[in-house]
A and B are shown apart, each in its own frame.
Chain A
Amino acid sequence: MLVYLIRRILVMIPTLLLVSVICFAVIQLQPGSFADRYLEDPRFTAETVERLNAQLGLDKTPVEQYLIWLRGIVTRLDFGFSFFANRPVSGIIGERLVWTVVIAGITLGFAWLVAVPLGIFVALRKNGFTDAVASFVGYIGLAVPDFLVALLLIALVLAYGGTNVGGLFSAQYLGAPWSWGKFLDFLNHLWIPVLAIGTGGIAQIMRQMRANLLDVLGADYVRTAKAKGLHPRRVTYRHAVRTAINPLVSMAGLQLPELINGTIIASIVLNLPTIGPLLYTSLLNKDQYVAMTLLLFASLLLMVGNLLADLALAWVDPRIRYG
């Protein structure tokens, strides 16, 4: 097991290197430069462009820039600095990481808590009325992009005179110490992103759970268990559901990078202080080290998520062993 773990981690290194090279190349291929948006400012002369490029290391060749950046990461875990904010990238990402994890965690948790029981419920009533309704709603949930749900929810709140139309807090609670009032205000804002981002996930997980469970319910051992006179509820929940949930565990691993990439537009619409909008603006602004670090982070999350899922699978499913 330990050998397997070490081998998996070692494989990540060349993969990350390859990812970083590709990302860097793509960012370099983007037209324009970091200085472009300043050109019209009366203060911005050709001399300033030169100085700025020298300060930012942009006067070096792209290969040199990449190697310097890489050396910083390897030797002192320095992910470069943001051109825009003139601060280390790690600090800028760190400020937003907490809220990103909190929102993503709650959203994922919500989606799973709703979707898994719902999937079981409709699987046990296959082709019935509830199944049809849930499937219909599920398809809509899958088809409608999360940012559109977010916009609709905002319009709905506005129509009913609400003020919780974006962000996580009302202005008066921003930066204030935690209190009961602040917590309620937080909950009042939180349900919109949770619902908007979570709906797509619910439909997906529910469909998956339903299909898995139906597969398992048709399996030989379930029939055997039933034939042996076991209580149907016991057969379903003790044996069938436990097996059916396994593929979902690997799906969960794949959802980790979604924390950054999957919800960018919804996060912008909802004005969430998360990493998604940061990636978007850094790509637009050619703030290359912020964008690179975030893209690298997303691929790392994908790989770690996969690894965790595989390990979890081995843990829940006695048929899987790594050695």
Chain B
Amino acid sequence: MSRRILALLLVAALALSAVGLAQTKTVDYPGLGMVAGNPGGTLTLALGDTPPRFFYYGEISAISQALTMQMFDTLIDLDLETYELVPGLARDWSVSDDGTVITLHLREGVAWHDGTPFTADDVVFTFEQIVMNPEARAGDAASFIFTVDGEQRRVEFAAPDANTVVITLPAPSAAFLLFLRSFYIMPKHKLLPFSVEGGAQPADINDAWPTDVDPSEVVGTGAFRLSEYVSGQVVRLVKNWNYWRADEAGTPLPYLDGLTYLIVPGTDAQVAQFLAGNLDQLNISGGQFPDFKSRELAGAGFSVVAARALFGSPPHLAFNFDASDPELAEVFSDHEFRQAMEYAVDRMRVIDDVYNGLAEIPGTPTAPVNGAFYEDTTDLMRMYDLEAAAAALDALGLVDTNGNGVRNVSATRELEFTLTYGNDSATWTDIATIIQNDFAEIGVEVNLQGIQSSQLLGTGLSGDYEAILVALGNLPDPELRKPIWQPGGSLYYWHRSTQPAEQGERPNFDAMEDWELRIYEIFETGTTNMDAESRAENYREWQRLNAEYVPVIMIAKPGNVAAVYDHVGNYVYNLGVIPGYNPVPHYFRK
């Protein structure tokens, strides 16, 4: 070989490695037991339903989210071990001193699946034309409009050059960077025709990428790209050979050549497919654990993995402060009554019997694994003690006056109410029955009313219930769940009279009790307070207030449970129930 060719090759190799260095990011999680994997092979996972479409912002759907997570990237990621913010498509970022200007530097050399370079224009387009489009069904326009001094102002996005994005906020927002973690960046060159900028009507954005689209149209920057969809049966993704992540040894990620998603609705069908070996991994519930564990011990070739969960929804019991029966409403609004009832909720039995031990005492309501915000309020909680419950009810004057075994609210009104729960899941049914039995022991009569689980929150918001079992999801920062936990918020369903008369107006402060006013204030300051230390301390106070005044009775925080075959390497399952929250690019076939 001549010297010239050798020199040329050397230059080419250097140039290639320079590109590689500029774009790649190495992440390993030795703390989670991850090792270097060997490339190749595919894995088969389950999808619980057909995807409504391949465009993430066109429909709120866990199914399209699961696929989007593999095919698209966010600017910022969450570290799987520490839950801290780490670079994604943004290489690094800076926040101005007053907290209103965020400058993001994008990773260079990243390309869309079709080879088109990824630039700051795509980021601006994604936010301004899709996420902030109020007609996008799964967009989030409202969160990008801040009310400052009674005036509504939009968040501004700008792209001064191809690799820089500048975000200008109307007011400081403490959780904004974390908030950015949930937005997948979309390709402008493919979606422009569906946007207002491209001449379409605002609602036309929802028409992008229906399920009968040509798979090559669906381009992301993610570890996998769409290859095939067979209606109602299978979604196939194949490896993105130009993905920007690598492991510590420099081996490009993902390790897998492809992901196959079998569409299997129905838990029984999924279990059968998993046991037959047609699925490599399956999310299961604590209730299914004993069956899977005994098969594992019998040498079925898979293991059951359990982890404490950051995301996921802990169930709670809520009493309607504004129940239509005025006598009941008065009792339910009294925090001493709710404290008394808390004594009668057997959390340990729910954890042991319903979840087979794969759950923990919940926060009020922050997830115990959330180190940044969790306040351990276990000492403040009233743990199961029926005698204490009965004594507390006696002290409130709620005694059985007519000798029928049920306590009386008044001479004509028994302490009897309906508990609404989801009857399409064994978990809900079991919890409801345990509560019904224990409450009966202390002379409180509960009538169970089963409805579809998907209707629970809707029923809560309609106010048409007396007591209800609902589960609301935990997120890393309390700010992200403000509408649920701030009195007067749109999802503060147990005390609806605190909500504003008209949407967008001030909440009804007259209806709030003192502790609710304090919680309202904590959430108001929490939004703009940029000092992490004092902000976290405020949210800890909120959790103590919740434990003390019991707006709702938190029951248990279920863990994540999954079964996975032994040939899957680097399987980590600690963030949440959606497989995309797991480091799929790191998975490999042994």
Q: List A residues at the B interface (Cβ < 8 Å).
A: 31-33, 36-48, 51-52, 55, 84-87, 91, 95-96, 151, 154, 157-158, 162-171, 174-175, 268-271, 273, 277-278, 281, 284
Give 1 or 0 for each of B509-535: 1 = CB within 8 Å of chain A CB. 000000000000000000000000000
A43 touches B138 (CB 8 A): yes
Within 8 A of A (CB), among B263-300: 263-266, 268-269, 272-273, 275-278
Is B376 an interface residue when CB atoms closer than 8 A count as contact? no
B52 touches A85 (CB 8 A): yes
Given contacts A84-B52, A85-B210, A166-B273, contact A48 B142 (CB under 8 A): yes
Q: With A and B bound together, what is the CA distance between A244 and B236 in angstroms?
A: 52
Q: List B residues at the A interface (Cβ < 8 Å).
A: 44, 49-50, 52-53, 58-60, 134-135, 137-143, 182, 203, 206-207, 210-212, 228, 230-234, 236, 260, 262-266, 268-269, 272-273, 275-278, 313, 451-452, 454-455, 457-459, 461, 472-473, 475, 480-481, 483, 490-491, 503
B60 touches A44 (CB 8 A): yes
Chain B residues in 8 Å Cβ range of A55: 135, 137, 203, 206
Given contacts A165-B276, A171-B262, A269-B268, contact A39 B475 (CB under 8 A): no
- Tell which of A36, A87, A166, A170 touches B454, judged by Cβ atoms closer than 8 Å: A36
Closest approach, in angstroms, between the C-beta of B444 and any C-beta of chain A?
27
Chain A residues in 8 Å Cβ range of B459: 31-32
B142 touches A45 (CB 8 A): yes
Nearest 6 pairs of A and B residues by beta carbon: A36-B458, A273-B232, A95-B231, A174-B234, A43-B140, A175-B230
Closest approach, in angstroms, between the C-beta of A22 and any C-beta of chain B?
22
Q: With A and B bound together, what is the CA distance between A270 and B228 in angstroms?
A: 23
A271 touches B137 (CB 8 A): no
Q: With A and B bound together, what is the CA distance between A284 and B266 in angstroms?
A: 14
Given contacts A36-B458, A40-B457, A55-B137, contact A162 B276 (CB under 8 A): yes
Closest approach, in angstroms, between the C-beta of A150 and any C-beta of chain B?
10
A166 touches B272 (CB 8 A): yes
Given contacts A36-B455, A86-B207, contact A151 B137 (CB under 8 A): no
B231 touches A273 (CB 8 A): yes
B269 touches A48 (CB 8 A): no
Q: With A and B bound together, what is the CA distance between A43 and B138 in angstroms?
A: 7
Chain B residues in 8 Å Cβ range of A38: 60
Q: With A and B bound together, what is the CA distance between A277 and B50 in angstroms?
A: 11
Q: With a 10 A CB-CB cut-off, give which of B273, B451, B459 has the most chain A CB atoms.
A: B273
Chain B residues in 8 Å Cβ range of A163: 276-278
B454 touches A84 (CB 8 A): no
Q: With a 10 A CB-CB cut-off, give which of A163, A271, A277, A278 has the most chain B CB atoms.
A: A271
Residue of chain A at shortest CB distance from B206: A86
- Tell which of B275, B452, B458, B503 touches A158, judged by Cβ atoms closer than 8 Å: B275
A47 touches B454 (CB 8 A): no
Closest approach, in angstroms, between the C-beta of A230 and any C-beta of chain B?
55
Given contacts A84-B52, A86-B52, A95-B232, contact A46 B143 (CB under 8 A): no
Closest approach, in angstroms, between the C-beta of A26 and any C-beta of chain B?
16
A151 touches B49 (CB 8 A): no
Q: With a 10 A CB-CB cut-off, give which of A85, A87, A170 has the most chain B CB atoms.
A: A85
B458 touches A269 (CB 8 A): no
Closest approach, in angstroms, between the C-beta of B212 and any C-beta of chain A?
7
Chain B residues in 8 Å Cβ range of A39: 457-458, 461, 491
Given contacts A42-B481, A167-B233, A175-B230, contact A86 B278 (CB under 8 A): no
Chain A residues in 8 Å Cβ range of B231: 95-96, 273
- Tell which of B49, B265, B272 touches A165, judged by Cβ atoms closer than 8 Å: B272
Known: A175-B228, A175-B233, A277-B265. 15 other contacts (CB 8 A): A31-B451, A36-B454, A39-B491, A42-B475, A42-B480, A45-B142, A48-B141, A51-B134, A85-B59, A86-B58, A95-B231, A166-B273, A171-B234, A174-B230, A269-B268
Q: With A and B bound together, what is the CA distance between A45 and B207 in angstroms?
A: 21
Given contacts A36-B458, A38-B60, A163-B278, contact A43 B143 (CB under 8 A): yes
Q: With A and B bound together, what is the CA distance between A61 and B209 in angstroms?
A: 31
Chain A residues in 8 Å Cβ range of B53: 85-87
Chain B residues in 8 Å Cβ range of A85: 50, 52-53, 59, 210-211
Chain B residues in 8 Å Cβ range of A91: 212
- Pairs across A and B, CB under 8 Å, 10 listed: A31-B459, A40-B473, A43-B143, A55-B206, A85-B59, A96-B231, A165-B272, A165-B273, A175-B236, A281-B265
Closest approach, in angstroms, between the C-beta of A44 and any C-beta of chain B?
6
Residue of chain A at shortest CB distance from B262: A171
Q: With A and B bound together, what is the CA distance between A63 and B382 in angstroms?
A: 52
B137 touches A48 (CB 8 A): yes
Q: With A and B bound together, what is the CA distance between A169 and B232 in angstroms?
A: 12
Closest approach, in angstroms, between the C-beta of A314 and any C-beta of chain B?
39
Q: With A and B bound together, what is the CA distance between A115 and B289 in angstroms?
A: 43
A157 touches B276 (CB 8 A): yes
Q: With A and B bound together, what is the CA distance between A281 and B454 in angstroms?
A: 12
Chain B residues in 8 Å Cβ range of A47: 134, 141-142, 503
Residue of chain A at shortest CB distance from B133: A51
- Tell which of A45, A171, A271 touches B260, judged by Cβ atoms closer than 8 Å: A171
Q: With A and B bound together, what is the CA distance between A85 and B209 in angstroms?
A: 10
B278 touches A45 (CB 8 A): no
B503 touches A174 (CB 8 A): no
Residue of chain A at shortest CB distance from B57: A43
A31 touches B278 (CB 8 A): no
Q: With A and B bound together, what is the CA distance between A166 and B207 in angstroms?
A: 32
Residue of chain A at shortest CB distance from B261: A171
